[in-house]
Amino acid sequence: MRTYFLKKHYLIFICLIGVFSCIPIKKEIYLQSGNDTAALIKNAPTNKWELHDSTYLLQPGDILSVKSSSITPQEYNFFSKNENEIKESDPILAGYKIDEEGFIELPVLGRLNIAGLSVIQTQKKIRTLAAKYLQNPTVNVRLISFQVTLLGEVNAPGKYSTIMPKTSIMDAIGMSKGLTNFADRSNIKLIRHVNNTAHVVYLNLLDEELISSPYYYLKPNDLILIAPLKAKNFKNFQAGNISLIISALTLISILILNTR
């Protein structure tokens, strides 16, 4: 009878271990609004969040792709040579890098100060200058050094590149194949370098209000660190130890009972 009692309590302990190592659904659902989903009106906005201006201003170290076309014969188009290089090699190597003083060096146009301008403003500036040499030029400028790094509880940690003018933290998570089940979605660390200063920000992916945060959209070279939940530590280390201890105590108890 006592052996049965001990086995029963052993099973209860094992069940409790399983409960403590489980993760509540509310800790896994992104951008929760706190509204009762059953009472929401379907096919209609439930909340409206004002998005912060995410326009990125170019800075030293950025690399740009500059392409142009015009009705000027190709042999006289000073951008043509570089465009062919970009097609045949690594775009990063064939791009134009902004130097420490904020300038890029373009054929014929010379050195242009573009630090502090947006990509669109840079595109307009180059088009205006190119119009002095080319007939009806069109200019396409892209930032090709936009990279973000994701480390920690992601399914594919690493550094990712994008040419999208607006890339959100959710886009970056998608590029890394999502977060693991044990990722702490309520405590994401974002490190951003601004004017030689590292800004450290903590974000909550479970809260819908994140959409209105100035850190919802990423900037080049942002570092995103995803820490694990305590449940992962419990499952990987504590649960196994507790199970061994309970097994040993149960075995000792059974031996004591059998010797009586």
pLDDT in tens, 54-102: 889 999 999 999 988 877 666 556 666 555 454 545 556 678 999 999 9
Is the predicted pLDDT of residue 187 greater than 50, yes or no? Answer: yes
Which pLDDT does position 148 carry in this prediction? 96
Least Cα distance to 224 among 163, 162, 170 occurs for: 170
Greater confidence (121 vs 242) lies with: 121
Q: What is the mean pLDDT of the chain?
A: 79
Which pLDDT does position 100 carry in this prediction? 93
114 contact partners, CB below 8 Å, separation of at least 6: 58, 98, 102, 103, 104, 121, 122, 125
Which residues lie across from 201 on neighbouring strands? 190
Give CA–CA dist 175/163, Å, rounded.
Answer: 13
Greater confidence (257 vs 134) lies with: 134
Helix locations, the chain, DSSP H: 2-20, 80-88, 91-94, 119-130, 169-175, 230-233, 239-259
pLDDT in tens, 209-247: 999 999 999 999 999 999 999 865 555 545 455 555 666
Is the predicted pLDDT of residue 19 greater than 70, yes or no? Answer: no
Mean pLDDT for 151-168 is: 92
Greater confidence (47 vs 8) lies with: 47
Q: Which helix (H) or strand (E) holds 67?
A: strand 63-69
Which pLDDT does position 45 carry in this prediction? 72
Which pLDDT does position 195 carry in this prediction? 79
Which pLDDT does position 86 carry in this prediction? 47
Which pLDDT does position 88 carry in this prediction? 47
Greater confidence (66 vs 23) lies with: 66
Which pLDDT does position 33 carry in this prediction? 72
| Sheet containing 138-143, strands listed edge to edge, beginning at the edge strand earlier in sequence | 96-97, 63-69, 138-143
pTM of the model: 0.71
Mean pLDDT for 173-195 is: 93
| Range among 19-23, 29-33, 182-186 rated most confident | 182-186
Mean pLDDT for 115-126 is: 95
Q: Which two tokens stand for residue 7?
A: 């086995």
* pLDDT band per the 50, 70, 90 thresholds, residue 206: very high
Go through 184-218 and write b for each residue having 16 or more CB atoms within 10 A of its CB, e for each that does not.
bbeebbbebeeeeeeeeeebbbbbbebbebebbbb
Lowest mean pLDDT of 18-22, 31-35, 150-154, name the range: 18-22
pLDDT in tens, 130-157: 998 888 888 999 999 999 999 999 999 9
Q: What 3-state class would DSSP assign to 86?
A: helix
Greater confidence (127 vs 254) lies with: 127
Is the predicted pLDDT of residue 115 greater than 60, yes or no? Answer: yes
